[in-house]
Amino acid sequence: MVRLSYGMVAAALAALSACTSLAGPEPAGTDAQALVFEAERTFAVTAQTKGVKQGFLSVLAADSIVFSPAGIVSGIEHYSDAPESPFSLMWRPAEGEGASSDDLYFSTGPFVVAADGEDRGFGQYLSVWQRQDDGTIRLLADHGISLPADLVGPQHAVFAALLAETRATRPAPAGSCDTSLEDADAALNLAEDIHPEAILLRNGRVSTRGPVPGLAAGVVTRRVAVAAAEDLGMSAGQAQPASAGNAQTYLRIWQREGCAWTVLIDLET
C-alpha cells in the first residue's frame, strides 16, 4: 500500500462505516500469528494516537521498504520526509502466520481511511515483519489494494477460505535444498520455468486463485527476504510502464513445497 499510500486514498472512495468494515473476530491462531497480530494492534494504536507518520516510524525496520507511485522506496526515508497525513487510518489483522524459525511473518486484513469524520477509502493491506537482532519484530514491507466498500466483507471471507485451503494441502518443505528465492522470483518475472497458482490480490477485485501473470517489460526484483528455516519468504519488485504513469509494483509471499519455492500470495498494483 504503503498502508496509507497518499495516491491510493483518492482512488478508493466509499461510504461504509469503519466499525462495520473492521468488525469481526481475530482467530487465536499459532504463537507466531499471535505475535504478529499484537505487533499490528500496537502499530494501529500508535497511528491513531500519534498520527500515521509517527505510527510508521515507530515500527519500520532500518532496511524497510514501502510502495509509492514512483515505485519501491526506503520506508524510513519516505516517512521521515513526509508531512503528517490529514487522514486517519484504522485497520485490524485478520490473517497471518510466521516461519517455523520465528523470524519472518506476514499479516493481512482490512483497513479504512477517514478524514473529517467520514470514511474515504477501503482495502486490504499485506505486511511483512522480521525479527531483529535485538529480538523485536519490525515492519519490513508494507503494501495493499483498494476495494469498494461493498467488497470489503466478501473479500475477507474469500481470502480467508483460500488461505485455509492452502494451509490444509501444503506439503512440508524438504530438509535441505539448493534453492534460491531470488532465482525463483526472477524466473517468475520472466515467465520462465514456474507458473504457480497463488492467491491474487488486485485493486477493486475479490481475491481469486490463479497463475501469477507477468508484469510489463523491465520488471526488477528489488527486495528478497527468507526465513532461516527457508519455509517462508518475501519478494518485492517493480516494473516501470512504457507510457507515463505510476510504476507497477508487487509484493509476494512465498512458501517452499519440497525443494521448490511457490507463491502463496501475489499482490500487484
Q: Predicted confidence band at 3 (pLDDT cuts at 50, 70, 90)?
A: low
Mean pLDDT of 205-220: 81
Is the predicted pLDDT of residue 238 greater than 50, yes or no?
yes
Give the residues across from 237 on adjacent strands.
221, 250
Residue 129 has pLDDT above 90, yes or no: yes
Task: Give the predicted TM-score (pTM) of the model.
Answer: 0.86
Q: What is the mean pLDDT of residues 24-46?
A: 79
Whether 1 shows a pLDDT value over 90: the answer reads no
Give the pLDDT mean for 17-38: 60
pLDDT at 13 over 70: no
Do 29 and 94 reside in the same domain of the chain?
yes
Q: What band does 4 get if pLDDT is binned at 50, 70 and 90?
A: very low
pLDDT at 68: 87
126, 36: one domain? yes
Give the tens place of pLDDT for each residue, 112-123: 988 877 788 999
pLDDT at 223 over 80: yes
Q: Give the chain's domain count.
A: 2
State whether 109 and 234 are in the same domain.
no
Give a three-class secondary structure readout of the chain: CCCCCHHHHHHCCCCCCHHHHCCCCCCCCCHHHHHHHHHHHHHHHHHHHHCHHHHHHCCEEEEEEEEECCEEEEHHHHHHHCCCCCCEEEECCCEEEECCCCCEEEEEEEEEEEECCEEEEEEEEEEEEEECCCCCEEEEEEEEEECCHHHHHHHHHHHHHHHHHHHHHCCCECCCCCCCHHHHHHHHHCCCCCCCEEEEEECCEEEEEEECCCCCCCCEEEEEEECCCCCEEEEEEEECCCCCCCCEEEEEEEEEEECEEEEEEEEEC
Residue 99's pLDDT is: 94
Last residue of a domain, one of 147, 171, 190: 147
The domain spanning residue 254 has which CATH number? Answer: 3.10.450
For 86-99, write each residue's pLDDT tens digit: 888 899 999 999 99
Of the chain, the percentage scoring pLDDT greater than 90 comes to 57
Q: What does pLDDT average to over the chain?
A: 84
Cross-strand bridge partners of residue 56: none
**pLDDT for 175:** 66
Q: Which of 147, 169, 191 is the last residue before a domain boundary?
A: 147
Average pLDDT over every residue of 135-148: 96
End-to-end CA distance of the chain: 9
Closest CA to 6 of 253, 246, 268: 246
Residues 33 and 89 reside in one and the same domain: yes
Does residue 37 sit within a domain? yes
* Same domain, yes or no: 31 and 112: yes
Q: Among 147, 169, 201, where does a domain finish?
A: 147
**Which whole number is the average pLDDT over 18-38?**
62
Rounded to whole angstroms, how far apart are CA atoms 253 and 263? 6
pLDDT at 135 over 70: yes
